[in-house]
Structure 1
Amino acid sequence: MGRIKKKRAERDARRQPGLPGSQPQAAPPFPQAEVERVMRLWDQAIDTGLMASGTDVKYHFAPDGKVLSVAVGRSGQLLANGERLTPSVAEQLREDMPLLAGMVTFYENNQLAGRGLDGAPQDGVMPLPPPAGPDPMPAVEEEALAEAQAATAVLVRQGQVAEPVGAMVIPASRGGVVFAVGGLDGELYVNGRALTRQWAGALRSEVPELASDIDRLQAMRAEWLDAPPQDRTLALAGSCTDPNCHTPH
């Protein structure tokens, strides 16, 4: 971890300024203790084989002292604060460090697109952009929703899905909907079918503007299938950060 320790002082001295035109403000104290804690997490990641020693690591600091540190692991998957950047880890990070939630989503999107650390800002304190309201929520196409609900009702009758409480419903502005539910068997079902690679591809063709949402659901399903099957009835509740996502349903 010598490279990480050597670069720490450089990062401290290279903090980013505020937004252009803003009044100069005193830089927040360097979060020394939090950086030391995160560095220990990287040591553990090296010990367990998740990453190689000397791997380049990005550090982003929030004004409230939170630290987001990201690297590319041996497998090519992104690691955040010493853990694989899975959907559940990303959601937990957004909850724990809301001022860095946008950066977590940036790296999550990079991972889905296979871009690694490409385009990431330089290390330092992240300037806070002015607040922006969400885009207008598209109306749910009632016919598409009814079809998805009917297909899910079949799964309920088959005993694969409980009553679809907490379903994730994402409408497309040009029509169509993604209706996702967690199964009693640990599977993730979308519009009445398990979200296999083939079905995900068909859904992207049907509602291309929701492709990134389908990508995230696929990543979530892969994470679920790594664990023993369990009741996932409420697993999607609260897990969608898209302002156009309706949940629970």
Structure 2
Amino acid sequence: MGRTKKKRATRDARRQPGARQRTAPPYPQAEIERVMRLWERAIDSGLIDGATEAKYHLGPDGTVLSVAVGRSGQVLANGERLTPSAAERLRKEMPRLAGIVTFYESNQRAGLGLQGAPEEGMVRLPQTAAPDPMPPLDKKALADAEAATAVLVLQGKVTEPVGAMVIPAQRGGLLFAVGGRDGELYVNGKALTRQWADQLRTQLPELSLDVDRLQAMRAEWLDTPPKDRTLALAGACTDPNCSTPH
């Protein structure tokens, strides 16, 4: 009799308005697709190679954390470098995955990459698209950029424009990047601050991803003590769409 009462009580509880059976959360397809677009942007900007494997973790609230190791050996999370500020923001955005974010942040500090990460899932990132044909070089824009860089040389910020990276745009204009003696990255005669990067994207919208790539490079430079970066770009340009006059 006691067992019958217990079964009946359980059945009645299930009929109560607030009582629901636990079910697995739906697969966050839209969020997965959003994160994959972030990885595509990271590939285009040169942070990571295409076809790299990335781990992913799904939160019970539909959030997604995807991590991989970039070209520089640094841990990337959802397509960006896992800096302290990025880790803090991710913990706020996905509190149910905050512990996993902290795990990868600790690994990053120790230089361990993804070692010892919890097993959940793996996904292969998309292959890098084939480059577009090289556009013609805008000689006037090149002369203007070289003149602006010559001013940096006179100011002692750049030793000489050796190893400069030149990226032309299809409809005229270009990006002329050169490393400085102070560890700074200068583009078209100015330090590549966030404000100047935004202006360059407005002036040369078709080179926005190249600006992203240069910003990522500058961020990596600023993570280490300043040193003479005069020749830093000489061997760093592997983009078939990049014209390098060295």
TM-score by length of 2: 0.52
From 44, 47, 68, give the equivalent of 1:80: 68
| Distance change in 2, residues 1:145/1:71 (3 Å) | same
TM-score by length of 1: 0.52
Deviations 1:89-138 (A, max 9, x none): 48xxxxxxxxxxxxxxxx899449x9x9xxxxx95889999xx9643210
2:54 matches 1:70: yes
Larger radius of gyration: 2
| Distance change in 2, residues 1:184/1:176 (3 Å) | same
Q: In 1, are the aligned partners of 2:179 and 2:186 still within 8 Å (CA)?
A: yes
SS at match of 1:88: coil
In the alignment, which residue of structure 2 is the partner of 1:173?
170
SS at match of 1:232: coil
| Distance change in 2, residues 1:174/1:128 (3 Å) | closer
In the alignment, which residue of structure 1 is the partner of 2:190?
193
In the alignment, which residue of structure 2 is the partner of 1:238?
235
Gaps of 5+ in 1: 1-66, 91-106, 117-121
SS at match of 2:140: helix
In the alignment, which residue of structure 2 is the partner of 1:161?
158
Q: In 1, are the aligned partners of 2:167 and 2:242 still within 8 Å (CA)?
A: yes
SS at match of 2:156: coil
Q: In 2, are the aligned partners of 1:238 and 1:247 still within 8 Å (CA)?
A: no
Deviations 1:152-204 (A, max 9, x none): 00001111101111100000000110000000100000000000000000000
Deviations 1:225-248 (A, max 9, x none): 111100111111232333210124
| Distance change in 2, residues 1:127/1:231 (3 Å) | closer
Q: In 2, are the aligned partners of 1:88 and 1:220 still within 8 Å (CA)?
A: no
Q: In 2, are the aligned partners of 1:78 and 1:111 still within 8 Å (CA)?
A: no
SS at match of 2:186: strand
- Across the two proteins, how many residue pairs are aligned to each other? 152
Q: Distance in 2 between matches of 1:232 and 1:137?
A: 27
| Distance change in 2, residues 1:229/1:193 (3 Å) | same
Identity of aligned residues (%): 62
Aligned residue identity for 1:165: V
Q: In 2, are the aligned partners of 1:169 and 1:247 still within 8 Å (CA)?
A: yes
| Distance change in 2, residues 1:144/1:126 (3 Å) | closer
2:179 matches 1:182: yes
Q: Distance in 1 between matches of 2:52 and 2:244?
A: 28
| Distance change in 2, residues 1:127/1:178 (3 Å) | closer
Gaps of 5+ in 2: 1-50, 58-63, 91-120
Matched ranges for 1:98-177 at <5 A: 110-111=79-80, 123=122, 134-177=131-174
| Distance change in 2, residues 1:71/1:248 (3 Å) | farther
